[in-house]
Structure 1
Amino acid sequence: KDKLQDKRNFYTVTLRNVGGLVMPIILRYEFEDGSQQVVRLPAEAWVKDNRTTRTSLISAQRLVQVELDPQLETADTNRDNNFFPPRLEPSHFELFKSGPDKPGDNPMKSARLREDKAREKAKVKAEKETQVKAAQEGVEEEDTPDKKSATVDPAGEEEKKAATPTEGEEPATQSFPADRTSVNPDE
């Protein structure tokens, strides 16, 4: 009667060797409270029968899920039968179709992209600060009469002056292909 009053949970997991290759058994048990336990059984678990084997688990928590080979350490090609209760994993085609921005994204690549964005934001912020400082210094320089303030030529006036001919100079000619040889306003 004492054994029947025990509050612990007893589980037996039966495994089938579908592929025929004898390998170690790696099981991850997930419990109701969210905790997990990984159990590793050597390949000798298949000694008595290479088609089926059993393992037992006694736990104070209720078992929610069992997963075979959670870290993909064995040569299992079909992971659809590695879960209890059964669940389907997305196929390679579905993962490809979901694209790089989806949940199957490479975490290292995502981290690098986040770092690049942070660097870019810092660079833009630093440029704005230098522009503000330069503008403040420019205002201060204009206020003092003894310092000459640098002028910026936004319209390119110096280039226009250089392009116009001075007295005694011939105007520049423009050459065109084949039918027109030159264009000169004085001709």
Structure 2
Amino acid sequence: MTFYSFARSVVYGAFKPIYRMEVLGKEHFPKEGGVLLCANHIHNFDPPMVGITAPRPVHFMAKEELFNVPVLGKIVPHLNAFPVKRGMSDREALRKGLNVLKEGHVLGLFPEGTRSKTGELGKGLAGAGFFALRTDAQVVPCAIIGPYKAFGKLRIVYGKPIPMDELRKNKVSAEETTDVIMNEINNLIVKNK
């Protein structure tokens, strides 16, 4: 058993008694090949929640500060996470993300770049569009519908992969591509509230 699998079991065991998790749409998740998984961001627990409910292991870009936290900083790299410098173009993180997708793995992103203070979906950053356009990965939208309240219902919805061929062919900008992705996440939230 890998450390990732072990950690996933531990987190699932910790979350199960606290949150009534309902996971929808797992059948839409591609079984193989690169997948760009894009979710809204409402809580610090979103990455582990996606990690335990996604059908395949997820590699996350995580804020660089997490890698400097005592103990946690030693664990995070073993959870398929790699650091990204926030507020600037981090070429190393972009290169690493592209490699994750090109190697046929799942890259998890929160396109808003930070948690929503209100729970409402914010504007997505161009990074999601960049990864979607630069690879042939399938792009899967994910909606986390909370709030994270003890014993409350928490719904995680995986949508169908977003068609990207036209966007790639027409050389649509990364910003516009991110807008398309965010619109799909919003549709999932609205339909499943």
Q: Which is richer in helix?
A: 2
**What range is the shorter-chain TM-score in?**
under 0.3
- Under a length normalisation based on structure 1, what TM-score does the superposition of the two structures give? 0.21
Larger radius of gyration: 1
- Under a length normalisation based on structure 2, what TM-score does the superposition of the two structures give? 0.20
